A and B are shown apart, each in its own frame.
Chain A
Amino acid sequence: MSFGPYLFLAFLEGTVTAFVLALTALGLSLVFGVMRIVNVAHGEFFMLGAVLAWYCSTLLEGSPLAGFALALLLAPLAVGALALASDWLILRRVNYNPESTIVATIGLLYIVQQLVLTFYGPEARPVAAPVYFRVSFPWFGYSGYKLIVAGLAAALLLATWYAMSRTRLGLYMRATQQDLEIAQAFGVPVRRVYATVFALGAMLAAVAGVLIVPVQQAHYLMGLDPLLLSFIVVIIGGLGSLKGTVVAAFLIGISDGMISVFFSPTLAKILATLLVAAVLVFRPGGLFGDNRA
């Protein structure tokens, strides 16, 4: 294949990766931004979304579209409920102490993994795409569903942005993010905001899992890689900055696409990590962070 189409493919792959990455990292970023805590179990929420999508697809066998729709509805609800419970039973009790939260969410990570391993099993199970078509370019073909995933992710990003900037919940969240005490003084129900944000972050991860599972498969160890990539994105973008998260997702997605196509994917991941180091040295708060993190 000549250079032009090669580059085009790299760009296409990078864009799809970037949108999915932005969606996955968004929840992590949101939770950090408002609550100042890192949820290490974020990748497991993503994995649970994918696993639940598989259950929905077996429930409505024969109609991938119905199964997909059901999963899009059910998975975020179930995962959101789990997140609410975790917030209630764990995070609130350690008073959202950043380090205790990390240890607790690591604990949660292993418990979720073990539950899925015990009840769902070790297999990687496929889920049929809701719509399937192949986009034919003159030089190669490409999955139509992947393009749809990118579109849906973009829509969800827009919806989140809208929710943050135009709704009362968004106002509460921004107020809490900027100054907890003042927000409290003005009657913002901080505890409820925290619980809501934590659940929302988990739901976004679950939706990302549902969207991605027809492209990958549902497997109990699938959460780790998205978690690490999300960390990279969130750090480079600036912890807690939505704009930064999206920009960094594109930076990482496209560069990962390019480097992987032309060199080695392992090298791409090592370079992305070193990029994190560079960003931290020169802008400790990330590209778009407030630099007080």
Chain B
Amino acid sequence: MNKTGRNAKTPSPPAAPVSRRRLLQAGAALGGTAGVAGGVVPGMLASSAYAQGSDRPIRIGFQVHRTGIGAVYGRWYERTANAAAAFINDLGGIAGRPVEIVPEDDGTDPKRGAEVVEKLAVQHKVDFVYGPLFSHVVIGSAPRAGELKIPYFVVSEGYHVASGKLNRYVFQPGITDVRAQVTAIAGWVMDNLGKRVAMIYPDYAFGYDHRDFFSAAAESRGGTITAHLAIPPTESSYTRYFPRIPPDTEVLYHVMVGPGVLTFVKEMGEHFGSRRPEIFGFIDSLEGVDIASPGLGFLDGTYLWEALPRYADGYPTRFEANFRRAVGVDANGASAADGKDVATYSHMFGCWETLFAIKEAVEASGYRTPRDYPALIETLEGFRYFNEGLGHPQGGKQFVGALHQCFGQQFISRVADRRLNVVHRTAIEDGLYPPEADYTKQPL
């Protein structure tokens, strides 16, 4: 893997049809920058272009799940990070300095994760560390990042950042956390599918976040949870869980992560036949999986949460189209080079947006060397939103500095004819919840 930030498999963004200058102007005009309290920091993208090439590169360590259970996600995360770095470099870099991605495999293992943070920070002397998805890796690595006092940007969607469990150096500015996701969609599910919900979720922390926060959101809207079914991560057969779903259940809510999802869907179909409740699920389990796979036919007519629609017509904006092209994904959500290589499209945008968030924080704070970490952190904590734009193609985000967490819109899609069609888009406000932490009170 070369370290210039350009993956051989990921085509770099084509220069045509828009000239760089026009792109920059458009980006600035449409607000591709972050906001601080009280106003927009003007012209970051444009100003950076003038100082181009004047300094040594900004090195960003990328902690990647190349092996282990997270490898499917890791591969697309790495492609996205490289594409984002290449795109930023084409725009003139960060504060005029080129970006260099320094990847290191963590084996999706918390012990190695902490060692990788150390290696990136101390040996490779990167400016920032970024990229992990799996919660146990994030939680295992975060203490070391805090001790080394190096900003650590995670793309994990877990509730561990916003819950206040971690430390002042850990941020999640590029992807909405799971608590906000389930809170955002709960209202739509109650109003459109039914109020009596049975939940099926994995028997570990990610599943409990779903269990706790969806149950709370549903009950506050007059819903009832008819069954909680926790499924162990090693499970390979699901038939035996279905009888526990009470017959008066109106909605089956499923979120699964891991290789078993196709079995799950098939067995759900076999069990219920045509007499099924409404079904609402999270696409996490189907990331990297073709919706037209054998056995997924039963999903037809069911609903899925998406963070960013897999099919290009789901959210047809210029920024989304630019992002899709830059990371090498076709209109159906698969690799442009190999139509069978389906992307993890509802998560990987987080790597893109996080790199832009870093760019915006660096430029707004005037960061130059690690001595400027406190300024960078305080600046980032002062951000209130990220505007939709080239850097934030999934949509505008609110950013809560005290929580170190961003909040964005969510999508609900219906499966029909073996593809996904967006039927609803939530507002950012739908996902907000009362904060439980304040990192700004911790010492730097």
Contact = CB atoms under 8 A, between A and B. Distances in A.
User: Is chain B in direct contact with chain A in the complex (CB below 8 A)?
Assistant: yes
A251 interface: no
B203 interface: yes
Interface in B266-319: 266-267, 270-273, 288-289, 293-295
B2 interface: no
A10 B243 CA distance: 10
B4 interface: no
B270 A142 contact: yes
Nearest to A6: B243
A272 B236 CA distance: 17
Given A17-B237, A225-B236, A123 B288 contact: yes
Given A126-B295, A140-B243, A143-B239, 13 more contacts: A1-B243, A6-B243, A13-B239, A121-B71, A123-B72, A123-B289, A124-B261, A124-B289, A127-B294, A136-B273, A221-B259, A261-B240, A265-B235
A286 interface: no
A130 B288 CA distance: 24
A124 B232 CA distance: 17
A215 interface: yes
B295 A9 contact: no
A13 B67 contact: no
A265 B294 contact: no
A117 interface: yes
Interface string A1-26: 10001100110010001000000000
B237 A122 contact: no
Contacts of A122: 67, 71-72, 74-75
Which of A9, A17, A217, A224 has the most chain B CB atoms inside 10 A of its CB?
Answer: A217
Contacts of A117: 67, 71
B208 interface: no
Given A126-B295, A128-B294, A143-B270, A257 B240 contact: yes
B69 A217 contact: no
A217 B247 contact: no
A127 B259 CA distance: 13
B427 to A, nearest CB: 34
A165 interface: no
Nearest to B258: A124
Interface in A48-74: 64
Given A128-B294, A264-B230, A217 B240 contact: no
Contacts of B289: 123-124
Contact of B259 (A13, A222, A269): A222
Contacts of A143: 239, 266-267, 270
Interface of A: 1, 5-6, 9-10, 13, 17, 64, 114, 117, 121-124, 126-128, 134, 136, 140-143, 215-217, 219, 221-222, 224-225, 257, 260-261, 264-266, 269
Interface in B211-253: 230-232, 234-237, 239-240, 242-244, 247
Contacts of A6: 243
Contacts of A217: 259-260, 262-263
B203 A10 contact: no
A5 B401 CA distance: 54
A126 B294 contact: yes
Interface of B: 67, 69, 71-72, 74-75, 203, 230-232, 234-237, 239-240, 242-244, 247, 258-263, 266-267, 270-273, 288-289, 293-295
B72 A260 contact: no
Contact of B262 (A5, A126, A140): A126
Contacts, number: 91
A136 B242 CA distance: 15
30 contacts: A9-B240, A9-B243, A13-B237, A117-B67, A121-B72, A122-B72, A122-B74, A122-B75, A124-B258, A124-B261, A124-B262, A128-B294, A128-B295, A140-B272, A141-B270, A142-B271, A143-B267, A215-B236, A215-B263, A216-B237, A216-B260, A216-B263, A217-B259, A219-B259, A224-B234, A225-B236, A257-B240, A264-B230, A266-B203, A266-B232
Contacts of A17: 237
A116 to B, nearest CB: 11
A23 B261 CA distance: 24
A260 B2 CA distance: 49
The 8 closest A-B pairs by CB, nearest first: A124-B259, A122-B71, A128-B294, A219-B259, A1-B243, A261-B240, A126-B262, A122-B72
A60 to B, nearest CB: 14
Nearest to B290: A126
B298 to A, nearest CB: 10
Contacts of A134: 270, 273
Given A13-B240, A126-B295, A141 B273 contact: yes
A5 B232 CA distance: 24
A216 B267 CA distance: 10
B272 A215 contact: no
B231 A265 contact: yes
Contacts of A216: 236-237, 259-260, 263
B212 to A, nearest CB: 18
Contacts of B273: 134, 136, 141
Contacts of A9: 239-240, 243
B364 to A, nearest CB: 37
B247 A10 contact: no
A124 B233 CA distance: 14
A104 to B, nearest CB: 22
Contacts of B237: 13, 17, 215-216
A219 B237 CA distance: 15
Contacts of B262: 124, 126, 217
Contacts of B72: 121-123
Given A141-B271, A143-B267, A215-B263, A221 B69 contact: yes
A9 B232 CA distance: 19
A123 B237 CA distance: 18
A122 to B, nearest CB: 3
B81 to A, nearest CB: 17
Contacts of A269: 232
A126 B247 CA distance: 30
A217 B239 CA distance: 16
